[in-house]
Structure 1
């Protein structure tokens, strides 16, 4: 079990570092949106790149930040029910839900990953005036889902640890 705990710790550290690195995308996104607002409403000269740029930053921030949120327990769940359970009950609930979450994430990696690969190979672009490469948008989803899958492995390891050690995670 010690080896599994070490794996979980490495995954947790990866999620934490990725989340902290991604947090720098938020001020960049705010700056892009602020520049667009100033250009549009102060100078009546909207840009052709700001919308796509903000959307791309938001996609990367939101989709790759999912593992960071999962690690910190910030994902949406029915806490009213879950919080009433003992640590062992919470671990069992985690283990029951994990296969469904893993199945969904595998579908995202597979399907959107294929779409991103296709966009990269064909050079597809967003259907906007600026027309940035579509792969820059699509690649965030399978990569984010892969990071979430890794964090799910960590969560499962921790849930198993709780069950094996009488409700007290080490």
Structure 2
């Protein structure tokens, strides 16, 4: 499971970094063409819009795998180590449910609806944009299941050292 996680982290992290680099290059071109050439590019606006959608959803999946998603730790900090473990498992199960129902199932409905539409400037199928939902949902489920497996083996990425020591009975 560690090799799978490392491979997934490497592939998704590299993809997000490459996408960010490409979006910065497109943004620089957009600013340059607008102010230096006085001829704004309309294609760059769509590229940036759809690129940010993909990058944010892929980044959310990556954050799920790292345990870096937004959370409120007030309840978690008040629990005993076993309670924290159970809460972390509940969070992983909630990610599976959310990703499965909202992102994959709902996202595929969006893909099907958008299949008949094209973008205004580039004329690409809008289903390509909406495909970011089920793709990120599948990645979130994979990461949530990996996180659950780690919890079952007593290994967690985001627990502090004190909590891990308490769980191990040290």
Question: TM-score, normalising length from structure 2?
Answer: 0.79
The residue that corresponds to 1:167 in the other structure is 167
What secondary structure is seen at the aligned counterpart in 1 of 2:118? Answer: coil
Question: Displacement, 1:102?
Answer: 1.9
Measured in 1, the distance between the counterparts of 2:87 and 2:58 equals 25
* Corresponding residue for residue 73 of structure 2: 79
Residues 70/100 of structure 1: CA separation in 2 closer, same or farther (3 Å cut)? closer
The answer for unaligned runs of 5 or more in structure 2 is: 156-163
For this pair of structures, how many residues does the alignment match? 157
Taking only aligned residues, the RMSD between alpha carbons, in angstroms, comes to: 2.4
User: 1:3 aligns to what?
Assistant: none
* Residues 15, 71 of structure 1: 8 Å contact kept: no
Q: Which residue of 2 aligns with 1:91?
A: 85
Match of 2:55 in 1: 61
Equivalent residue in structure 1 for 2:110, among 97, 110, 115: 115
Who is 1:125 aligned against? 118
> Could you state the TM-score of these two structures normalised by the residue count of structure 1?
0.79
Residue-by-residue CA offset, 1:132-162 (whole Å, 9 max, x unaligned): 3212211111100110011000111111222
Equivalent residue, structure 1, for 2:159? none
Structure 1, gaps ≥5 residues long: 1-5
Distance in 1 separating the partners of 2:83 and 2:154: 10
Match of 2:11 in 1: 18
What does residue 70 of structure 1 align with?
64
Q: Secondary structure at the match of 2:48?
A: helix
Q: Is the 8 A contact 2:93 2:144 kept in 1?
A: no
Q: Would the alpha carbon gap of residues 99 and 71 (structure 1) be closer, same or farther in structure 2, given more than 3 Å must change?
A: closer
